[in-house]
Amino acid sequence: MPERLFIRLPEDPSCAPETTVPANTLTAFAVPARLRSAVAHVMAYEERFAQGDETVERVLPDGASRLLIVLQRGAATVHVAGARADAVLLAMGGHVHGLSVTLNLGALPALFGLPAKELAGLTVPWEDIVPRAHRHLAEQLAASDDDAARVRHLLASLQALQRPSDPSRHLVEHAARRLSDTGGGLSVRELAAELHIGERRVQQLFAANIGLTPGVWRRLQRLHGTLRLLRTARTARTAASPRWAEMALDAGYYDQSHLINEFRSLCGLTPQQLLQRAVSDSSNTGNGRFT
């Protein structure tokens, strides 16, 4: 079965340039100011496959929690997906339609009153974790005329669920940003010292607000830093293979083997396989290319 890539880093619009999903199947929606503390990104997707055609979509991890809405045969299902650090493989075929809402760090406890660690790696029905008054969301979405109306209903529900954030959320946001800014180059011990708290407290903050350990979050940031390095390497234009040993050191890995093993663990692909798929599919989508 054919396979394609979906990648999105925080600074990307609907998707990353390496993505080989057709760009015209994705629509981004603006997040109102009142919800920007909880919601990072809202996207609708819709695609029709020819009868008998199927593909697998490999979604690379970004460490975020999400709301996932599937629209099918006049009905809607709403799920909340916790953070994870491995690639997700989605079988695609027929008429695929839905919404995806990427949540900010700390949004799960702020919206649902749950520590993020309780949902890590899980996908649970919306109805199982919201008050009774908000359990009719799926019916509202199914009855809406278009995706813009569905997004309005969804964001209104999230706004109604918002509660005051824990003061520690700002601390974990800063901690996560430091690990991202350094491309995972800052150790957890160094991070704790910089924040003037213990390593155990750092672990607790990440568990409550992100759902991943700081060590796993650090690995994801190093992966993302490597993807950014690949974008600037211009390998797609020159058709030359990157100097992986040098890139591994630049990205903060011990050596090339460490780089390859981390890509396999987090993406299910080696960096060379990822690069080849993104470049080889670029002519089909107009989107899958490294810039």
pLDDT over threshold 50, residue 36: yes
Q: Could you give the angle at the alpha carbon of 201 between the alpha carbons of 220 and 261, nearest 5°?
A: 25
Range of the domain at 68: 3-161
**Together in a domain, 12 and 155:** yes
In a domain, 287, yes or no: no
Check residue 288 and give its pLDDT: 45
Q: Which of 161, 181, 198 is the last residue of a domain?
A: 161
Q: Please count the helices (runs of H) and the strands (runs of E) in the chain.
A: 12, 9
**Together in a domain, 16 and 132:** yes
In a domain, 144, yes or no: yes
Check residue 185 and give its pLDDT: 86
Q: What digits encode the pLDDT tens for the residues 97-131?
A: 999 999 999 999 999 999 999 999 999 999 999 99
Which tokens is 283 given? Answer: 């002519």
Q: What digits encode the pLDDT tens for the residues 178-204?
A: 999 888 889 999 999 999 999 999 999
Alpha carbon 144 to chain centroid, angstroms? 26
**Together in a domain, 248 and 114:** no
Q: Band of the pLDDT at 281, cuts 50, 70, 90?
A: low
Mapped onto helix, strand or coil, the DSSP state of residue 66 is strand
Q: Band of the pLDDT at 286, cuts 50, 70, 90?
A: very low
Q: Are the beta carbons of 215 and 189 closer than 8 angstroms?
A: no
**Together in a domain, 137 and 224:** no
User: Whole-model pTM?
Assistant: 0.92
Check residue 240 and give its pLDDT: 63
Classify residue 166 by its DSSP letter: P
In a domain, 291, yes or no: no
Per the prediction, the chain carries an average pLDDT of 91
Check residue 200 and give its pLDDT: 96
**Together in a domain, 102 and 222:** no
In a domain, 94, yes or no: yes
Domain count, the chain: 2
Q: Which of 133, 161, 189 is the last residue of a domain?
A: 161
**Together in a domain, 35 and 81:** yes
Which tokens is 223 given? Answer: 């992966």
Q: What digits encode the pLDDT tens for the residues 130-155?
A: 999 999 999 999 999 999 999 999 99
Q: How far apart are CA 180 and CA 175, in angstroms?
A: 9
pLDDT over threshold 50, residue 285: no
Q: How far apart are CA 291 and CA 289, in angstroms?
A: 6
Check residue 183 and give its pLDDT: 85
Which residues contact residue 53 at a Cβ distance below 8 angstroms, ignoring those fewer than 6 apart? 93
In a domain, 12, yes or no: yes
